[in-house]
Amino acid sequence: MKTLLVLFTIVSLSFGKNTQETITMNASFDGYEDGFYYFTDEEDNNFYFETVNKESLEKYKLSGEEFIGRSFEVTYKIETKTDEFEEQYESYSIVKLILIEEE
């Protein structure tokens, strides 16, 4: 019976973990303002990202105007966070950014 309980616990823990799924889209960079990075996808949906991974920020200086209007392949994840009022919200974070070369 102990073996069954231990096995059940291990299986429950492995399936109960939060897996971080990533999403990839093509989007145009609209700019950086008030701590957010703004993009618009091919269907005119607007996205704002709280964070961008370090490697992408070193490669693309998104705080300036050089890349505004340029197209990127954006890979991001969505995390649920809690604010100072204990309310939950979704936070979008870029995990990979690739500039799409325009012909």
Domain locations in the chain as residue ranges: 18-99
Written as tens digits, the pLDDT of the chain (103 aa) is 443 333 333 333 334 444 568 999 999 999 999 999 999 999 999 999 999 999 999 999 999 999 999 999 999 999 999 999 999 999 999 999 999 986 5
pLDDT value at residue 9: 35
Structure tokens belonging to residue 18: 């939060």
pLDDT value at residue 103: 52
CA gap 52, 8 in Å, rounded: 38
Q: Does domain 18-99 have CATH number 2.40.50.500?
A: yes
Burial bucket for residue 82 (CB in 10 Å: 0-12, 13-18, 19+) = exposed
Block residue for tokens 């999403």: 23
